[in-house]
Each structure stands twice: as C-alpha cells, then as structure tokens.
Amino acid sequence: MDVSRLGKGRLRVAVTGASGEYGKLLLPLLERDPDVESILVLDVARPEGAKVDFHQVDLTRHDAEADLTDALSDQPVDALYHLAFLFGPIRNGSLAHELEVIGTMNVLTAAGRAKLPRLVVPSLTAVYGARGNNPALLREDSALQGCPHSRFVTDKVEVEGQVRAFRERHPDMRVLVLRFAPVLGPSIENPVTRLLTRTAVVPTLLGYDPLWQGVHEEDAGRALHLALRADASGEFNIVGRGVLPLSGLIRQAGARPLPLPGPLFRGALHTLDVVGADMLPVALLDYIHYSWVADGKRAESALGFTPSHHVRDAAAALTLRRS
C-alpha cells in the first residue's frame, strides 16, 4: 500500500505506545483526521477512540515479534508510528532497555516483513549530547554524542542506530525519525517537566546557564501528524521558536533558579531524589553545563512544520501543572 491512498478516507495507521506521552498527543489528531479510517493500536492497554482497533501486544515479551507481524500483516497498514518509549522516572533500567531497544528490534523486524510503506519513530535532540565544543546549531548530520552516563539517552542513541540500519536495508520505505527538543506542556511527563515543576526552587550549577530549547506539546503532536503525509525520509529536528537560558526557562515555568557550586548541586539533586521529587537525574548533568541547540530548518522545509509556540510560552504552560 502506498501514498496513493492518501486523501481517500481509507488510511489505516498503526501505533505502538499509544498510551505513552507521544501517543496521547497523536491519537486525538488521528481521530479527527477525515483521511484516517482506523487506528491499529498495538499496546498492553486499549486507549479511548472511535477509530481504535486494539491488538494487545507487549513489546517486552519473547513472542512480541510474531504478534506484531501477525497484526501488521492481517490488513494493509499505510503507516506505523513506533512511540513506545519511556519518559517517567525509570526505576528498572533493564526493563526500560528491554522495551526501547529490544522492543524496537521487534517492531523493525515486523515492519520489514509486513513491507509497510511508512515508519515514524520519535527521538530527542538530547542524542546530540551537550558539549562545550558543540556548534551553535546542531543539524541532523551532527554526531550523536549522547550522554554516556545516562541510560535514558544512550538507549535512544542505540535505537537511532537500529532505525538508520533498517532504513538502509529498506530503501523503498519512508522512515522518518523526529528528534524532539524537550516537550513542554500541562499534560506531559518527562525529565525536563519534572525538573521545572516539582519544586518552587530549582537547583542549577553556579557559573553555567546554557541555552535550551523546548517544543510545546501541541506543536509536538502536530509534527507527528505531519509525518503521516510528508514526502520525505530521514531525521528531523522538531523545536519550538526561540531559545532561553536555563534560568529563564525555570522562571517562565513559575519557579526560581538557585545556582549552587558543583558538590552542593549534586547533593541537592540527591536529596530531592531521596524525598521523591524525581527531578533531573545526576547522569544528565551535561545538559546543565552546556548548550545544545538544534536547527529546525529541515523540518520546516521537508515536513512543513513551523512551530506555533515560542519556548517561553511552552515553559509558561507548565504553570498549569502547579495550579
């Protein structure tokens, strides 16, 4: 099945991770899309939706690949969104690795066997890493230096490697990877929203105030939806308008930055973790040290994605979580 079905009200879209952060942003848009006939949800729990055709699939099980292949081959599928990635506090790193890395391997094998025309996978601009020698703008062909001490980031880098190799093996398939800046909004739960909203005072590193980007949850959902029709393949940076220093981002979110020397900063994060605040893991300290600003021009030209929200507005939307 190819893009010739677009516009005829017969699109069949498959989604893994429909109950996760990205799935909750995308599914309402697919429900309202008149060209989407049905949404094949491959997940452990059924979400709400009039168009949902639910198949229970657990990506961490040994038989997940067979379940996926059967579900994707049963009826023609025009696009698969693989959105099964974790953003809440990760207490079991092995289980997270099993879901994201091994789960992605199962998804890619099934997608190849079903000969799907389109695959969309989300990633993060964090995969570029935060380094003192980063260029002013990180473009899609920049090296993925990641964050060696963070499994949260290294798993995403590994997934990108899997997807890139898959795209090379399947040149006839459109494979899109959307690298999102931190997604911000009242309904989103990820390491950055926890950092900005769990306390009224946010510890930062004395002497460092790196530039950050963010993308409003509404813009993130729209970018995912645009990938359904884009005449493109490859990686795309999905960022909001503008940048802010971390201190400004914290203030826009309704909190106050508290610059601390390195040892005190690490101690503060550890204490907050012990009391259950679940703020930024110490492993992600690179992103508090250095700027990591991605260029969004390719997404604008190839996907037609232009963000509606400035990063200051995306951060300000987090104040709704405090009310």
Residue 265 has pLDDT above 60, yes or no: yes
Angle of the 21-32 helix axis to the 217-226 helix axis, nearest 10: 60
Residue 318 contacts residue 193 (beta carbons within 8 Å): yes
pLDDT tops 50 at residue 283: yes
User: Where is average pLDDT lowest: 94-98, 170-174, 270-274, 283-287?
Assistant: 270-274
In this prediction, residue 236 has a pLDDT band, given cuts at 50, 70 and 90, of: very high
Whole-number percent of the chain with pLDDT over 90: 77
* Number of C-beta neighbours around residue 54 at 10 A: 16
Question: What does pLDDT average to over the chain?
Answer: 91
CA 31 to each of CA 5, 47, 79, 125, 157: distance values in angstroms, whole numbers, following the listed order: 17, 12, 15, 28, 31
Distance of CA 140 to the CA centre of its chain: 15
Higher-pLDDT residue of 264 and 306 is 306
Query: Counting beta carbons within 10 angstroms of the beta carbon of residue 207, is it exposed (0 to 12), middle (13 to 18) or buried (19 or more)?
Result: exposed
Whether the per-residue pLDDT at 309 is higher than 50: the answer is yes
Residue 4: band (very low, low, confident or very high) from pLDDT cuts 50, 70, 90: very low
pLDDT of residue 284: 82
Residue 287, CA distances (Å) to 23, 79, 125, 266, 282 in order: 26, 34, 11, 14, 10
Mean pLDDT for the stretch of residues 148-168? 94
Judge whether 253 and 318 are in contact, CB under 8 Å.
yes
User: Could you give the C-alpha distances from 263 to 138, 247, 268, 273, 281, in angstroms and in order?
Assistant: 30, 19, 9, 15, 15
Contacts of 219 (CB under 8 A, 6+ apart): 238, 240, 305, 307, 308, 309, 314
Confidence of residue 320 (pLDDT cuts 50, 70, 90): confident
What band does 3 get if pLDDT is binned at 50, 70 and 90?
very low
Measured between its terminal Cα atoms, the distance across the chain in Å is: 47
Q: Which residues contact 97 (CB under 8 A, 6 or more apart)?
A: 151, 155
